[in-house]
Amino acid sequence: MIHRLTTADSGFDAKLAAIIADRATATDVSAPVAAIIARVRAEGDAALVALTRQFDRFPITQDILKVSINEIDAAAATIPDDQRYAIDLAATRIEAFHRAQLPADISFTDEVGATLGLRWGPLDAVGIYVPGGKASYPSSVLMNAIPARVAGVGRIAMVVPTPDGMMNDLVLAAARRAGVTEIYRIGGAQAVAALAYGTATIAPVDRIVGPGNAYVAEAKRQVFGRVGIDSIAGPSEVLIIADADNNAYHIALDLIAQAEHAEDSQPILVTDDAELADAVATAITGALKTLPRAAIAAASLAAHGAIILVRDLDEAVALTNRVAPEHLQIMTAAPQAVLDCIRHAGSVFLGPHAPTAIGDYVAGPNHVLPTAGTARFSSGLSVFDFLKRTSIVSLDHPALVAIGRSAIILAEAENLGAHARSIAARIN
């Protein structure tokens, strides 16, 4: 059912390397994606209509590419009160956390009299991709749209695929709560291309964020440079560090919760207790019998999951930093002490009462996180993804004289005569 590894066994490093490398394995779709992008650039809305009919089996027309305000309002009105309350709670907590991230401008005058500064400002327009298909994710709407709105982005355009013409009311309700009213019923690489290059109906944006399938990820990679992107998202993953004093059933559910996202998700348990490892493996088998997405979760666990027995928690920490997981749960007697030794993780959950699943919805921090080991050099989505920095320099003549002669020397060393003369003319 799930891989069982022990660090004391010979060949462990090679086995672990294979599991980690497996996260980045994907079908090469670069050629068909490039063809789709080229078609959208050449044909605009006509390509969106044709490709949506082909891939989503939906006889869309140009006049209904955009979801109307009345449709958004009607969808929001249909959801039950408990779901409306849950969306509002999640949105409120996500907004509070991201509002706390807003940076302050910088301005100071240094010892030579130069005034230097840094000014933050929002992007003009952002595109949000929200997955459809196997599942609909109102939580993704909130996690992507709310930080953009908090940052002050003037225009937020959302695209969401509608297989067979079906759109999830919760997705529209979440968009309404997040302040998004520009929504298009298209998905796939064609939606990314439309956001990047624009069509008659859809104006281009400056950055595209949000998860999707392999075609969406590849399309984001190909349009990067024309627009900014958040990341190239890979399969979802969790790594749990747990000691003996834990509930095996809870851990089993945490692993399955990650596995049920998709067949290529990766759940890993790292423990120093052999009895807990055995108990979790048994609990997984039992829990799968009662869950609606058991087939998907079972496929994920069998292909990409692992229970790893380590000698001690120091070894668990070293292994975790090597994996650099998207989600990290630390379920030990002293989780903060373990956290202090962690260098690479997208988001961390401390203690037995903080499962990754709570972070997917209502905790507050963003659930759009680096995958496939990219937590070594990148971070989760935040307000900063929707802001840009502008540096400011103000010099009077004495300040220019104080530092300018060194600039002239460097410019001449680089054989950039106009640079040197531009400064020298002002000094002299």
Out of 363, 386, 419, pick the residue that ends a domain. 363
Question: Between 45-56 and 30-43, two packed helices, what is the crossing angle to 10 degrees?
Answer: 140
For residues 421 and 395, the answer to whether their CB atoms sit within 8 Å is no
Q: How many domains, the chain?
A: 3
38 and 186 together in one domain: yes
Out of 363, 378, 404, pick the residue that ends a domain. 363
223 and 305 together in one domain: no
324 found inside a domain:
yes
370 found inside a domain:
no
- Domain span holding position 317: 3-24+234-363
265 and 209 together in one domain: no
251 and 181 together in one domain: no
Catalytic residue selected from 98, 304, 326, 367:
326
> Which range has highest mean pLDDT (11-20, 231-240, 409-418)?
409-418
132 found inside a domain:
yes
Out of 181, 203, 229, pick the residue that ends a domain. 229
pLDDT of amino acid 24: 52
375 found inside a domain:
no
CATH number of 349's domain? 3.40.50.1980
Residues 6+ apart with CB under 8 A from 165: 56, 57, 58, 59, 60
What is d(CA 392, CA 240) in angstroms, rounded to the nearest whole number? 45
Q: Residue written as tokens 């979790």?
A: 280
For residues 211 and 230, the answer to whether their CB atoms sit within 8 Å is no
Kindly state the average pLDDT of the residues 166-172. Answer: 92
pLDDT of amino acid 21: 77
148 and 258 together in one domain: no
Dihedral (C-alpha) 314, 319, 324, 330: value to the nearest 10 degrees?
-50
Q: What is the pLDDT of residues 343-379, one digit of tens each?
A: 999 999 999 999 999 999 999 999 999 999 999 999 9
385 found inside a domain:
no
Residues 6+ apart with CB under 8 A from 311: 7, 8, 272
376 found inside a domain:
no
327 classed as catalytic: yes
Query: CB under 8 Å, gap of 24 or more: what pairs does 244-248 form?
Result: 244/271, 244/272, 244/273, 244/275, 244/276, 245/333, 246/276, 246/331, 246/352, 247/352, 248/276, 248/279, 248/280, 248/282, 248/283
347 and 248 together in one domain: yes
Catalytic residue selected from 327, 344, 412, 414:
327
Given the DSSP bridges, would you call strands 3-6 and 106-109 parallel, antiparallel or unpaired?
unpaired
What is d(CA 275, CA 283) in angstroms, rounded to the nearest whole number? 12
214 and 178 together in one domain: yes
275 classed as catalytic: no
284 and 174 together in one domain: no
Q: What is the pLDDT of residues 1-57, one digit of tens each?
A: 799 999 999 999 998 888 887 555 457 899 999 999 999 999 999 999 999 999 999
Q: What is the pLDDT of residues 271-284, one digit of tens each?
A: 999 999 999 999 99
Residue 177 has pLDDT above 80, yes or no: yes
Residue 189 has pLDDT above 50, yes or no: yes
Start-to-end C-alpha separation, the chain:
78
Residues 6+ apart with CB under 8 A from 166: none
356 and 208 together in one domain: no
288 and 313 together in one domain: yes
389 found inside a domain:
no
125 and 239 together in one domain: no
335 found inside a domain:
yes
Residue 225 burial (CB count, 10 A): 9
Q: What is the pLDDT of residues 92-141, one digit of tens each?
A: 999 999 999 999 999 999 999 999 999 999 999 999 999 875 557 899 99
pLDDT more than 70, % of the chain: 98
22 vs 168, higher pLDDT: 168
316 and 291 together in one domain: yes
Rg (CA), the chain: 25
How long, in residues, is the chain? 428
